[in-house]
Amino acid sequence: MTTTPATPAEAVRHQIQGEILQITVDNPPVNALSTAVRRGLMAAIEAADAEPRVKAVLIVGQGANFIAGADIREFGQTPQPPSLPEVCNRIEACGKPVVAALRGAALGGGLEIAMAAHYRVALADAKLGLPEVQLGLMPGAGGTVRAPRLIGAAAALELMLSGRHVKAQEALSLGLVDRLAEGDDAVAAGLAYAHELLASNAPVRRTRDAQGLADRAAAQAAIDAARADTAKKSKNLFSPHRIVEAVQTALDKPFDEAMTLERQAFMACIDSPQRAGLIHAFFAEREVVKVPEAKAAQPRKLDTVGIVGGGTMGAGIAVSALDAGLPVVMVERDDASIARGRANVEKVYDGLIKKGRMTPEAKTAVMARFSGSTDYAAFADVDLVIEAVFEDIEVKKAVFKELDRVCKPGAVLATNTSYLDIDAIAASTSRPQDVIGLHFFSPANIMKLLEIVVPAKVSADVVSTAFALAKKMKKVPVRAGVCDGFIGNRILAVYKQAADYIMEDGASPYEIDEAVRGFGYPMGPFQVTDLAGGDIGWATRKRRAATRDPKARYVEVADRVCERGWFGQKTGRGFYLYPEGARTGQPDPEVLAIVDAERQKKGIVPRQFTPEEIMRRYMAAMVNEGAKVVEEGIALRPLDVDVTFLYGYGFPRFRGGPMKYADMVGLPKVLDDIRTFAKEDPLFWKPAPLLEKLVAEGRDFSSLNQAR
Ligand code: 3H9
């Protein structure tokens, strides 16, 4: 969306109401602190100090939010004056009491503005926080210096390191705000508070003088604890460590010096690649829902959901639908299966009860919306059915024939297949325009990614309905085209193959997993295989055996492992050993012997791989296939590939996703790697034409994100 930037006077209005100067930040959609807003705020505070009639100042946001923070879109551009710390310092220096009245978002720089004000009142819907860490940043307008003074080092560190939002009531008990107000009128609440303050001759009260750090020993203990915790939990991250050190500075140095040092550390965060990666992720997950069908067509009615299959997947999807407030009808083939399906659903809620996150009464209320049946006729009235049965095209086609027979006209018929041809499934019905893929990831009630797979004949309003369902379920939807594996599993198959080649050429599966973890993934590919169950990939490999190019290199290690019945965690053994149900595996010398035997069979002399080379190959394979997926239109844009991997495959968020990572490394470098590797195996390492084209034109993947 391109709009003309507002002038300072438009972005920040001020008007005198009796003795009070009301400053309204009006910068839709979320009142971010753009250059115009900063300039407008400066001018308004100058006016307040200069005007003798004014006895107090009120700052509010126009609309549903106070201020959502710095304008993230400006990061990376040349900073324009005044800086936000200057604005905050100017507000704090105001000679008349300044009140901030908060509703909706008061986040990041928004909360820093509020903390620079002298008094704060919050409406019930306010959410306060210092979420900069989630963008690879730290508070950079006094947050690390003022928050510890206002609420103490421990609470301030917790807020800044978690980035979580705090509701009004908690903000009051933390001391972030002075009082709560009823209703949804921030201006009325703020004016009332300001009048009260004037009536009681309340002084200007500056946060720089607050005493939250007075107990130095307690503050130091909190900093030490946070430092140790951050070293453990955030070792790959840049900004959390800067946050801890900034609070140390706030304790050790005078206010103004601490502000200067905070600014330097903030600018170092701005310059870090992690900031670029995390901010890309922030915008990508908001862009991903902007697909042509959702823009073109309204969703169909979506009040009830049917699910075929009560296995782990079907039950997980049922929980997602129930949690979204929808009634769910589950159909299974016999009474025992439906009882098992219900039990699978209940197990999720019982787990929550055990952890104290749900009451038994709430479970009863949710389960009242669940019903099971062995008769497809139970789907006669549902708006959308999701099939989650065995991954076999003939079984799925049979299910869809039944759905076609019983469902009402206009019902959306969805399949949860992860590989199969949805065009073929749609063709087995008399209504292919209603058939779509909804690929949930396991466990479906927890994993955020939902691939919305769009077959050739589906109508736009069905796609739009799928996006509406994702929103209700709080999933992150990505539009994908039909191909074997869609976006995620198709790319996974290729980089998994690269990992297999690296293994056969000399690195152990354990070295590969370690390199991948070192890159920032929670787990390596062989650990993932063990977690998911090696038998699943084995079945897919068998299915593909007939169509595999006989000239293509094929690594048999995983087959040898599976032939021994070693399917991973569930069998106590896979690529790793899991003694007595342990979840963390131990390296298995017998697996290494299998790898060795396979190498010998092919006459491969193993060689050393550094973690860096492992990752170059792993990422080059991922990016190359990603480019093919974009070129073929399976993914709309590179950012759709990024979001898929961030939310479905554990890709480290601070790297922004595989395509953003490639942009940051530089596409010429990635292509160079692929061409070098192609000398060993030209069939596997075939550069994607899109990648070659972009390099030839001096462009990167992000240029395609903007273009569509
Ligand atoms: C910071 O403050 C640094 C300072 O400490 C120091 C500086 C020196 N800027 O999420 P939504 C856009 S760092 C620009 O869909 P919701 C967003 O892209 C900042 N744009 O709505 C979207 O645009 P579009 C710390 C922003 O109701 C539209 O607003 N602050 C910004 O679900 C609606 O957003 C944060 O990290 C921004 N700051 O949620 C807060 N924020 O319509 C980040 C949003 O074109 N923001 N947009 O797609 C949020 O957490 C959520 O957006 C919020 C609203 C809770 C506010």
Q: For CA atoms 498, 504, 510, 512, give the dihedral sign.
A: negative
- Mean pLDDT in residue range 594-609: 97
- Region 532-560: mean pLDDT is 90
Q: Do both 260 and 324 map to the same domain?
A: no
Domain that holds residue 426: 302-485
Same domain membership, residue 565 and residue 618 = yes
- The strand ranges marked E within 54-162 are 56-61, 98-102, 105-107, 119-123, 127-129
Burial environment of residue 116 by CB neighbours within 10 A (0 to 12, 13 to 18, 19 or more): buried
Same domain as 450, residue 521 = no
**Ligand 1: centre distance to CA 281 (Å):** 12
Q: What is the pLDDT of residue 76?
A: 81
Residue whose CA is at the smallest distance from ligand 1 atom 49: 68
119 has a pLDDT exceeding 50? yes
Q: Is 297 a member of any domain?
A: no
The verdict on the CB of residue 70 being under 6 Å from ligand 1 is yes
For ligand 1, the distance from its centroid to the CA atom of residue 439, given in whole angstroms, is 29
Residue 498 within any structural domain of the chain:
yes
Average pLDDT, the chain: 96
| Phi and psi at residue 181, to the nearest 5° | -135, 150
Task: State residue 707's pLDDT score.
Answer: 44
Q: 32 with 161, same domain?
A: yes
Residues 55-81: tens digit of each pLDDT: 999 999 999 999 999 999 998 889 899
pLDDT confidence of residue 1: 45
Q: Let me know if residue 295 belongs to a domain.
A: no
How confident is the model at residue 643, as a pLDDT? 98
Q: Tell me which residue has tokens 């700052």.
A: 59
pLDDT given at position 391:
85
Contacts of residue 496, defined as CB under 8 A and 6 or more positions apart, other chains included, come to: 525, 537
Active site residue 158: no
The proportion of the chain whose per-residue pLDDT surpasses 90, expressed as a percent, equals: 92
Are residues 532 and 481 located together in one domain of the fold? no
Per-residue pLDDT tens over the stretch 568-580: 998 999 999 998 8
Are both 467 and 528 inside the same structural domain? Answer: no
**Does ipTM surpass 0.90 in this model?**
yes
Position 201 scores a pLDDT of 96
Q: Cα(576)–Cα(531) distance, rounded to whole angstroms? A: 10
Within 13 Å, how many C-alpha atoms sit on residue 536's CB side?
15
Residue 283 Cα: closest atom of ligand 1? 18
Atom of ligand 1 nearest to the CA of 69: 2
641 alpha carbon to ligand 1 midpoint, in Å?
22
Residues 250-270 pLDDT 10s: 999 999 999 999 999 999 999
- Residue minimizing CA distance to atom 42 of ligand 1: 29
Domain count, the chain: 3
List the Cα angle 597/599/602 in 5-degree steps: 110
| Residue 2 pLDDT greater than 50, yes or no | no
Question: For residue 700, what is the domain's CATH number?
Answer: 1.10.1040.50
Name residue 573's amino acid: R
Residues 321 and 378 grouped into a single domain: yes
Nearest residue by C-alpha to atom 6 in ligand 1: 140
Same domain, 513 and 457: no
* Least confidently predicted of 302-306, 404-408, 455-459, 581-585: 581-585
Co-location of 357 and 221 in the same domain: no
Q: What is the CATH number of the domain that holds 219?
A: 3.90.226.10
Distance between Cα 368 and ligand 1 center (Å): 38
